[in-house]
Every structure is written in C-alpha cells, then in structure tokens.
Amino acid sequence: MEKSVLFSGFGGQGALFAGQLLTYAAADAGKHVTWIPSYGPEMRGGTAHCTVVVGDSPIGSPLVRHPDMVVAMNAPSAGKYETIVKKNGLLIINSSLVQKPPRRADIHTVMIPANDMASEQGNIRLANVVMLGALLGATDLLPLDIIEKALAEHLPARHQHLLAANKAALHTGAAFVQILLPVP
C-alpha cells in the first residue's frame, strides 16, 4: 500500500502541522513515509501546502503529481488542487471557508465545516486537526489512536496544554465523516 495526501491552506491554518503529524504517526507505526512542505511568500496569510506519502515499502519518489487525497483548508486550495486529485481519489474541503461545490464527479468529496466545528470546541485553530480526523475517518490510512500517540509525543511543549482539545478535534472530524460513508 502506498497513499499520497496533499494538505493545503493559508499560512497559519496548520496545513503543514496536519501533514507533519500524519508523517510522525506513520513513522511511529513503522510505515515508510515522506513529507515535503512548500511555503508561500508570506509566513501568515500566504499559501502553504505539503505532500505526505505513506507506504508499506520504501517510497520510490516523494514527488506526487496526482495525489490520492487532498485536504483543502480554504477556497484557493480547493480550486487549485481539485483538478489534480487522482480519479476515485478523495477531496476533503473545509466548507466553513468554501461554499462552492466541487466540479468533479469522478472523485469522492467530503465537505466538512471544520472552522465551525473547531470554534464549537473553543479554538478555531483546531480546524486542521478536525480535517485530519475526517481524512482518517474516511480512509484506512492510519487508526486514530496512532495519531493520538503522535500528538502526545510530538505536540510542541508550548502547546501540550491543548493535547486533550486536539484529541477531541481529531475524533470530531472522524465522527462527522462516519455519517457520510461509504468513501474510499
């Protein structure tokens, strides 16, 4: 098994952290994994995306032209990356910021109000983890408990007080998608 995921959003939305967390969890689970970040011209407000490839065997190339899955945190990301998702792939869109429905009918799409869900939990900055939970709830990429373990081990010390909130956000995203199944 080899699966590729592209996370994208504005700088400061946590797209890179979501990808990095998936990378840590995959490595901790004994998987082969690559993580390639890409930053826009500004730290906050510019675009940022990363590509994660997870496999059971060594990964031939970390470069991906048509990812199996895309997690789009904002409208520019949804518009740009919908076109490159692999046929029968998965596109997860933050419907709190993207109202326009996707155009493609040959992919699976999940519209999740991640910002709204994170705000209901008391911290809008958890939207990235809500979306990561949705990705994991919709696929068999990794179990949630592996991500929880990675959160506990890799969440920066200055954010450890948010560990319980991050775990709750992860489960909120996964539970939302369970209602929408079947998806790949």
Give the global pTM: 0.92
Q: What is the pLDDT along the chain (184 residues), one digit of tens a residue?
A: 899 999 999 988 999 999 999 999 999 999 999 999 987 665 556 679 999 999 999 998 889 999 999 999 999 999 999 999 999 999 999 999 998 888 999 999 999 999 999 999 999 999 999 999 999 999 999 999 999 999 999 888 998 999 999 999 999 999 999 876 654 4
pLDDT for residue 182? 55
Side chain identity at 171, as an amino acid letter? H
pLDDT for residue 125? 94
Angle, CA of 184, 35 and 58, to the nearest 5°: 75
- Domains of the chain (ranges; CATH) run 2-180 (3.40.920.10)
Q: Are strands 32-39 and 69-72 parallel, antiparallel or unpaired?
A: unpaired
pLDDT for residue 58? 95
Distance CA 171, CA 176 (A): 8
Cβ-based neighbours of 97, under 8 Å, separated by 6 or more: 73, 74, 75, 115
On the question of a cis peptide bond just before residue 182, with omega within 30 degrees of 0, the verdict is yes
pLDDT for residue 44? 57
pLDDT for residue 110? 95
